[in-house]
Each structure stands twice: as structure tokens, then as C-alpha cells.
Structure 1
Amino acid sequence: MSGAKKPRTDKKGFMERLNAGEMVIGDGGYVFALEKRGYVKAGPWTPEATVEYPDAVRQISKEFLRAGADIIQAFTFYASDDKLENRANESLNKHTGAMINQRACDIASEVAAIGNGNGPGLFAGGVCQTPGYLSGGTKESVQAIFRKQIEVFVKNKVDFIIAEYFEHVEEAEWAVEELKKTGIPVACSLCIGPEGDMHGVSAADCAVKMAKAGADVVGVNCHFDPWMSLEAVALMKAGLEKAGIKVPLMIQPLGFATPDCGKQGFIDLPEFPFGLEPRILTRWECHRYAREAYDMGIRYIGGCCGFEAYHIRAVCEELNKERGFFPEGTEKHALWGDGLRQHTKPWVRARARRDYWENLKPSSGRPDCASMSKPDAWGVTRGDANLVQHVSATDDAELKKLYQHEKA
């Protein structure tokens, strides 16, 4: 296969790669993938699977590695203690937060060490937004939550830490400030689109704030599809350039098409979270996404919720010339459908060409399916009484109030 090169055996550092202009390919969405497979509970979305079903987490990590990912992220999303016990989630009754995070590091470090055609992989820990912040917590109390998680990452000598999935840049700044005390590189991404964060801070200003807080890499992840995410990163890039700040950019969007979502992203869509399958990106759309991201100058390219291993493989295949090798997973995937030459049916063999798949507009298969949805757009964010979290379960009376709000 063209583009092959001799794998290196050294482990080149995260910032060393990015500062040299090299790209790093992230992995995909663990939470949604594991929920679909029966290992994560929708609602809390917490990662106790690292303790309860470690083989399931390990298998998905290996699939992302085989697809070509350079980075294996520890499955520590929403693993802060306040989230693990939020709304009657029973995780902390069974396991400690530290245990969940430790097992996540064990799995990620093990898989990353296997490496791909670009040598040993990078292993990252991660923190994200907290119920404590949404409930109006102080800077000191929220940073204490991050500090507790960070202890595990320092102990396990992660290559870098990701601060991700923040709807408010203020909380991201607080996270970065605390993470930087470790001396470990920090990549920070917000789950925002072109309209900016939930407090009205523009995407451009968000990028500047993250960088000034000390983030070594800035960008976006989740909540929006590749095209809206690319638009948001373009605004960030312009804001950084205007401020005279130079930091590498990152992007890890949804694996779903969301042109109709509002400011808060796909969680406002009526299909969230159990009816999103008709929106799943094709692998060919991921080729386009990867090329546009690279051409924009983004060098940390990956995926979030909805991104499966084959999506990451498509990213790596599109960028094989720039990377110098194809992922191991390409062994069973001829480029642009070329393997269909071997199909028994002639009309399927006729699809063994790039222009067919590049120009395909997939159908939903549902005759009465609307082409777009109307987002719920309640306009609720930090400071609203409905966002004050609690450890007790959501009761019927609270649900009744929410139903009435929805009807209104």
C-alpha cells in the first residue's frame, strides 16, 4: 500500500509533535459507543465501566488504535465525584472516583503502548464540566473537584491532560489553571459552536481566554457536527491571530450531522440521545472533514460522540500522505469502495469508485421523516434553578414540571 513507512520505535512527546507541525489523530466517542453496547447508562453517562467491564473499554480503545489513532484517551469523562453521585447515580456506592479513574488510566496506558505505524501512542487523562459549576459552585470548590481527579493522572504519568466538554469558558479557565500546576501539557476544548459559549462569550474570545489561562492547545469537541465545529475553530483561529497568540488547534466533533441544532448543540435535538442514528456521518464525510480540518491548519484531529473506529480510520486514510502510513485497519478496507470490485452483483461492482461515494446523498429510509428538527432551546444555563443539581433521584413531581415546561 502506498504511503507506507518504517514505524519508529521512539515515543515522541505530545507538544513536541505539535510544535514541529506534525498532526496527531485522536480517538472517538467512548460514551455513546459503550452505551449502545450495553456498558454505559444513558442519563448519568458516567464511566464506571472501567471497573465493571474493563474488557469492553479496552476493546474499543484497541479498535481506535487499529483505526490509526495516535492518542488513546483514558475513559474518565464525567468521572468527578460530584457527577458520580448526581441524581441518585449509585457509582460512588460501589466504587470510588479514584478507582474508576485509575482503571481508566490502566487501560489507556496499556493500549497506547501497543502503538500504531507511527510508533508508541500517546496516553491522555481528561476532566470535563461539573455539576458543581452548573449549580453555582465557587471557583475554589470547582477547582477542588478537578484537583482530586488530577492526582490520578499525575500518578500515572499521562502524556497530557485534556480539559474538554465545557459549555462555559469560565469553568474551562478554572480547569486549565488547576491542571497547569502539574507541569503536564494541557489541551482544552469547549463544546460550543459558532455562536460561542452559554454565557454569550464569542468563540474568538473563548479561544483567547483558554490560551491566556495557560492551555497549550485549544479548540472544540462534541455538541456539533464537523462543519459547525470547523466554523467555530475558524473563529477561534481568527481571534487568536488578532490577539497575537500562537497555539496549536484541536477539533473533535460529533459523528452526527446537526445543521439544525441551536446554540446548545445536539442535546437540544428531539432525537437526543436515542434517535440519532439517521444522522450518523458516512465514512466519506469523515474524509471531507479530515481534509478541511488539516487545510485549516488544525493538527489535533479526532472525534467525539458518534465517532466509531471506522470514522477515525477514514480520517487517517484521507491524511495518509501527510502522516506517511495507512492505519492497520486499512488492511480490510480498500479505499473509496474499491473492494466492491469483488462483489457478486454487477450494480454493486459499479459502485467501486470515488466519485460515487463522494457525491452520495444517503436516504433515511423513513418516508415520513422530516429533513430537519426543531431544537427544544429552553435557554437554560448556569444560574437557572433547573440546573441546580442534587444527589437525590429525579422524582415524578419534578418530571411533571419539566413536562409542563416542554409543552409551554
Structure 2
Amino acid sequence: MEASICIVCLRERLRDGETVVCAEGYMWELERRGFVCSGDFTPEVVLDYPERVRALHEEFVLAGSDVVEAFTYYAHEAKLKSVGRESDFADLNLNSLKMAREIADRYGKLMAGNICNSTSFDPGDPDNVARTKNMFKVQIEWAVQGGADYIIAETFNELAEAKLALKVIQEYGNGLPAVVTMAPYSRDTTLEDIPLPDALRQLEVAGADVVGLNCSRGPETMMPLLEEARKTCKGPLAALPACFRTTQKENCYYRLTDPKNGKPLFPANLYCVQSSREDIRKFAEQARQLGVSYIGLCCGATPSLLREVAQVYGRNPELSRFAPNTSRNYYLKANLSARELKIKKLLFGEMSEQL
């Protein structure tokens, strides 16, 4: 299958000054809905409940995503072996790509193939490097076969692995564009102690069409790094934060603790500190002002949060008609009767004067 010829390719869009909105975060949203195991984070839902994946693709598109990303994150043999599903390796990848292509064509969107960090990369072990390269190669060749318009290589903390992923896309991706994003954990450097902005610039020089940051950090703690990256990188910059309220003290979601008791929240209890719509809108406004042209959300993303990003970037997606409208709320509308004001006071207490 060839990529859809009716869609302007990623390179042309970015060259012409367009922006691209891309929904990620499938793993966490499907886990929140009960169809992915928190901890394993493997995507067998593609085979077991494909209608759930298809529905989420459509929801993100209707919320404003320009891209349908095939749900092949952690869909490699080593990860699937850990849950006894290695025999499903090929079917899972091919079915996911087919599903994404179908939804992308239905709505006139780009379709992206996906590879990610291996979780076991060791640049000092030649056999390990060869296995990782082959893992990337197989998934990229399937993405080309499945009609991907470009390839996303994401969530790397080690520059050597990100460079390997880019090299394999260039060798086996049939000329498809490559978007390569690094995950900023607690430090502002890669695992090799290279400042992340410098690492992104190296990937850019090596030929990545888009470089940037995804996952790990929420909006508040990703933005300072993006500002530094914008000074360093010359081409299109990507920003796809996790949707959790990271802070200067707890700057990536692995470090977040429960505000009530101080217990670690990762992995199963992070939603008590999920970003608000206002958090996401503020981030999108800052990113747009910074010149980020490839924008999206990662872990913790929902259609309603992505809609905020799309609207800031000038989109008017289908789901905009369901955006909040407090003017019609029974207790928040104007010109309340005396009885309604009494009920409002009962509901909201002293806050009722501010609403």
C-alpha cells in the first residue's frame, strides 16, 4: 500500500509554514479506560479490542489532530515477550497500521508509523545494537508497507538510540519524513550527559525533518527546555508534553507525589494531578508564540485536552461545538432568580460570588 496521494506531505506542510497538530498518548488514555495494563503498558488492545483503538483514533481526529498515529508503541518482540504475546508481533503491528490508515483516509489526515525507545538499548554491546537496529528495521518496513506518510521515533532519552532510530528510518523508510523526539526526564540532559537542546540539534543535522521533546514532563516544566531548544535548533520544533502537573521540584511525572499523602503516583494514580484545560491552553499559547510548528500531547492526553491545543493553533475541529459553555449552565448563567441564587450559594459557598 502506498501513502495517500491526496494528502500534502509533512515536509511540504512545514516548508509552507503550516503547523501540524498530532495526538499521542494512546497508551495512557486506553489504560485510563481500562484496556491497557498499567505497568506492562503493552498494546495488545489492538488485537483484543480493536474497536476501542479505532474509536480513540476518531475521537482525536474530531478533536483536531492532523495525524492518525499507528498504535505500535512498545509493539516490539522484546516487550511483547514480557506479557507472553511475542507470537502476535506481526499481526499487532500490521493491524494497527491498517486501522490507522483507514481512519486517516476517511478523514483526510496524515498517517504516521511509530517506533520508540527499546527500554533495553546498550550502545556498548554490539549484539544489542544489532538487535535494536533490526527491531526498528522491521517496524519501519511494515510502516512503509502499511502506507505511512511519515515515521515518528519517540521517547528517547539516549541520543545514541535516537540517532540509530533516525538512521534506520533513513535506510529503510523509503524516503519518508522522520519526526524524532527526546523524552526529558529529571535532568536536562540525555543519558550520555549531553544537553537536550544540543542533542536535538545533532538529530537535526543528521537529517531529521522535525526534532523536539515528548512525554515525561508536563507543560510547566517542558517549556523552559523548549525555549532553549528553539535557540539551538534551526528547523521545525516539536512539543508534546505529558498532561500532568509537574513542578520545579517534581519535574517529570515519574517523580510526582500525591498532594494528600506524599506517596509516589507513578504509574497507576497519576490522574489526580492531571493537567487542566487551562494548563494545556496556556502551554499551547506559549508554544505557538515560541514558533513550535509540530504540536501535540502525550501521556495523559484526552480528546478534550487536545481540542484546547487545536483551537489555540487556529483549528475549528468538529468537537469544538462541545467546548465548555458556562453561559447556559443552570447555576452559572446570568440573571438568576432569588431561589436559584440561594441554591448556587448552597452549592458553591463563598466561591459563588466569583462565578
State the TM-score, normalizing by the size of structure 1: 0.74
Q: Does 1:132 align with 2:132?
A: no
Q: Does 1:30 align with 2:18?
A: no
Superposition map of 1:223-234 within 5 A: 223-234=216-227
CA distance in 2, matches of 1:239, 1:198: 19
Q: CA deviation at 1:125?
A: 0.7
Structure 1 residues 142 and 309, CA gap change in structure 2 (3 angstroms): same
What is the aligned partner in structure 2 of residue 108 from structure 1? 100
Note if contact 2:101-2:147 (Cα within 8 Å) is conserved in structure 1.
Answer: no
What is the aligned partner in structure 2 of residue 47 from structure 1? 43
Note if contact 2:78-2:86 (Cα within 8 Å) is conserved in structure 1.
Answer: no
**Letter aligned with residue 102 of structure 2:** E
**Letter aligned with residue 228 of structure 1:** T
**Letter aligned with residue 157 of structure 2:** E
What is the aligned partner in structure 2 of residue 177 from structure 1? 167
CA distance in 2, matches of 1:44, 1:340: 40
**Letter aligned with residue 156 of structure 1:** G
Note if contact 2:240-2:295 (Cα within 8 Å) is conserved in structure 1.
Answer: yes
1:271 pairs with one of 265, 286, 299: 265
Q: CA deviation at 1:10?
A: 4.5
**Letter aligned with residue 27 of structure 2:** V
1:19 pairs with one of 15, 20, 23: 15
Gaps of at least 5 residues in structure 2 are 257-263, 335-355
Note if contact 1:28-1:312 (Cα within 8 Å) is conserved in structure 2.
Answer: no
Which segment is superposed worse, 202-211 or 299-308? 202-211
CA distance in 1, matches of 2:51, 2:278: 30
Q: CA deviation at 1:135?
A: 9.0
What is the aligned partner in structure 2 of residue 398 from structure 1? none
Deviant stretches of 4+, over 6 Å? none
Gaps of at least 5 residues in structure 1 are 1-8, 241-245, 351-408
Q: Does 1:342 align with 2:334?
A: no
What is the root-mean-square deviation of aligned Cα atoms in Å?
Answer: 2.0
What is the aligned partner in structure 2 of residue 247 from structure 1? 235
Q: CA deviation at 1:57?
A: 0.4
Note if contact 2:24-2:69 (Cα within 8 Å) is conserved in structure 1.
Answer: no
- TM-superposition CA deviations, 1:100-151 (whole Å, max 9, x none): 1111111111111122xxxx10000111111330596433232111111112
Q: Does 1:62 align with 2:52?
A: no
Note if contact 1:39-1:49 (Cα within 8 Å) is conserved in structure 2.
Answer: yes
Q: Secondary structure at the match of 2:184?
A: coil
2:212 pairs with one of 191, 215, 219: 219
Structure 1 residues 55 and 349, CA gap change in structure 2 (3 angstroms): same
CA distance in 1, matches of 2:240, 2:152: 12
CA distance in 1, matches of 2:55, 2:195: 39
Q: CA deviation at 1:230?
A: 2.0
Q: Does 1:189 align with 2:156?
A: no
Note if contact 1:217-1:250 (Cα within 8 Å) is conserved in structure 2.
Answer: yes
CA distance in 2, matches of 1:277, 1:57: 20
What is the aligned partner in structure 2 of residue 168 from structure 1? 158
Aligned length: 319
Note if contact 1:206-1:236 (Cα within 8 Å) is conserved in structure 2.
Answer: no
CA distance in 2, matches of 1:349, 1:28: 35
State the TM-score, normalizing by the size of structure 2: 0.85
Structure 1 residues 42 and 134, CA gap change in structure 2 (3 angstroms): farther
**Letter aligned with residue 255 of structure 2:** D
Q: Secondary structure at the match of 1:41?
A: coil
CA distance in 2, matches of 1:260, 1:239: 23
**Letter aligned with residue 15 of structure 1:** R
Q: Does 1:292 align with 2:286?
A: yes
Q: Secondary structure at the match of 2:221?
A: helix
Q: Does 1:141 align with 2:131?
A: yes
